[in-house]
Copies of this chain bind each other. A is one copy, B any other.
Amino acid sequence: MIAVLKKTATRQQIDNLTGWFEKQGLRVNESQGEFCTVLGLIGNTAGIDVDLLQGLDIIETVTRISDSFKQVNRKFQPEATVVDIGGVKIGGGNFAVIAGPSSIESEEQIMNAAMIAKVGGANILQGGTFKSRTSPYDFQGLHEEGISFLVKAGKEVGLPVVTEILSAEQLPLFDEVDALQIGARNMQNYELLRALGKSSKPVILKRGQAATVKELLMSAEYIMSEGNENIILCERGIRTYETYTKNTFDISAIPTLKELTHLPVIADPSQATGKASLVKRMAMASVVAGSDGLEMDVHPNPESAKSDGAQSLTGVQFTEVMEATNKARSIL
């Protein structure tokens, strides 16, 4: 960390600040320039509050020169992490497609959706069992029953299964599930991140609606710092002033994340756009942008879906999207 002091800083003030840094366990390297004094801080600066320093009268500017994310940082682990979800690999050149309905509504529905996923060429089956809905009056999912339907459907078609978890207490319910997803609304639910960090289950971590790529990495750091390195990051659109699409798909986050971290990065074009008609183009775009995989909503009958029908693909549409995706992969 570098602190540039104003030229008006007195010797006494500089010494006070230096003393305070040293009390925080840092070594301080002072270089006296002609028009400012620069303090180089050596040691673990993670606990130093940059905003606070910026606010001090004698400080011109403070800059972290090391990233605040460590374990997920590609600088410190250049080889790509490969995450294994029930035998399906993602990352390090392995591409996987996760498909299924936003909500599991019945055994028949998830079975049909599983068939669509399998036939279209998906590698992993997803389905919502505990739903995170804006309104308490919206369908909240089938909970435990939904999990059992999902597990059964996965076995039936031979695909590992993924579903979203909403709180640490639910963890025991997901024993037979191959991977857990943390939704955008919970990206900074640190208790949940920590709990999954102590688990060994692979985690799909979705970017929050107002989260920067660096904050997404910090949330992954929460999980990894507890011991679980089976983390997949998912770009699913951010909130902006544009309302034509449900979210604004920040596609450049894909190569950005791939550059900053060794973790696999996937994209969710269904959630990013909210419109089934845009999924094909955005799936292709994600692939050529460098995505390690895709997550998409499919439903046997989108018009009667209990959630996210407008962004769900039918069987026919999903097959078409998968063909386009495969074409896109062929040119990389």
Cβ 8 A contact of A241, one of B31, B212, B252: B212
In the complex, A288 has a CB within 8 A of chain B: yes
**Which A residues from 87 to 110 make CB contacts under 8 A with B?**
none
Do most interface residues of chain A lie in helix, strand or loop, or is the interface mixed?
Answer: mixed
Cβ 8 A contact of A40, one of B33, B189, B208, B248: B33
| CB–CB A166/B139 < 8 A | no
Query: What interface size band does chain A fall in?
Result: 35 or more
Given that A55-B276, A139-B47 are known contacts, is A61 also in contact with B60, CB under 8 Å in the complex? Answer: no
Q: Which residues of B contact A289 (CB under 8 A)?
A: 281-282, 284-285
| CB–CB A242/B212 < 8 A | yes
Cβ 8 A contact of A61, one of B2, B273, B284: B2
Instruction: Give chain B nearest CB distance to A215 CB in angstroms.
Output: 6
Q: Which residues of B contact A308 (CB under 8 A)?
A: 49, 51-52
**Which A residues from 297 to 332 make CB contacts under 8 A with B?**
302-311, 327-328, 330-331
Instruction: Count chain B CB atoms within 10 A of each CB in A34, A68, A239 and give the residue with the most.
Output: A239
**Which A residues from 6 to 30 make CB contacts under 8 A with B?**
20, 29
Question: How far apart are the CA atoms of A318 and B42 in the complex, in Å?
Answer: 35
In the complex, A275 has a CB within 8 A of chain B: yes
Name the CB-closest residue of B to A7.
B65
| CB–CB A250/B252 < 8 A | no
Cβ 8 A contact of A36, one of B60, B65, B166, B310: B65
| CB–CB B251/A282 < 8 A | yes
Name the CB-closest residue of B to A185.
B188
| CB–CB A138/B36 < 8 A | no
| CB–CB A254/B281 < 8 A | yes
